[in-house]
Amino acid sequence: MFDRHLHPRLKPALNRLVALIDKPYISADGMTLAGFAIGVLALPFLALGWYVAALVAIILNRLFDGLDGALARRRGLSDAGGFLDIALDFLFYALVPFGFALAAPLENALAAAWLLFAFIGTGSSFLAFAALAAKHDIDNPGYAHKSFYYIGGLTEGTETIALFVLCCLFPAHFTLFAWIFGALCWLTTTTRIWSGYQTLKAIKP
């Protein structure tokens, strides 16, 4: 919901920062992999109950995610880089709820499963439409900076990261946050499926 509004405000700062690290030995794909490796640290940190450390790993992962995109746009977007970025993003999003489930299995496991179930809905509707949008050359000016069609919704990247931050700051309330956000994710999935179906149905064969 907020991604299309937040990105234009962050883009200038990311471009200035990436200009400082634009060296021949640094690649956008390398930054993607480094950011994912840092993000993976959130899993053991969460499992151990080290929520501040997990929060730092999550924030650094998102910083690298912004920088790799800025570097890719500076040098030229590639399909391989776009694929790597989105694949690792979805894995990162999934490992955070799993980490909270490991931290307190009896209290958090069911809510974490609900959240992961909801993520499957948002992710599958997102990727399915992106694939068909590319096939039919459907443009999306609201997310022109993306390497593939980015269908919006009530819960996008910004809202998901806000959820993770809240959960790390207030881990005792993880179950409440997860149940509420999972429900919002299903609203997103429903609207994506409906709008995507209508958009594709209107295309003449």
Percent of the chain with pLDDT over 90: 50
Residue written as tokens 């993000």? 39
- Phi and psi at residue 195, to the nearest 5°: -70, -35
The SS3 of residue 156 is coil
Give pLDDT tens digits for 131-159: 787 777 776 644 444 554 556 677 887 89
pLDDT of residue 20: 75
Residue 19: CATH number of its domain: 1.20.120.1760
CA distances to 41, 63, 76, 106, 150 from 20, in Å: 26, 15, 17, 47, 28
Comparing 156 with 48, the larger pLDDT belongs to: 48
Instruction: Please state the rounded mean pLDDT for residues 44-68.
Output: 95
CA distances to 39, 54, 68, 87, 176 from 35, in Å: 6, 14, 9, 13, 29
Q: Say what the pTM is.
A: 0.85
pLDDT of residue 35: 95
pLDDT band at 170 (very low <50, low <70, confident <90, very high): very high
Count of structural domains, the chain: 1
pLDDT of residue 140: 61
List helix spans (H) across the chain: 3-21, 28-40, 42-47, 51-75, 79-103, 105-135, 157-169, 174-201
pLDDT of residue 141: 47
d(CA 42, CA 46): 6
| DSSP assignment of 8-34 | HHHHHHHHHHHHHH--TT--HHHHHHH
Containing structural domain, residue 31: 3-201
pLDDT of residue 112: 98
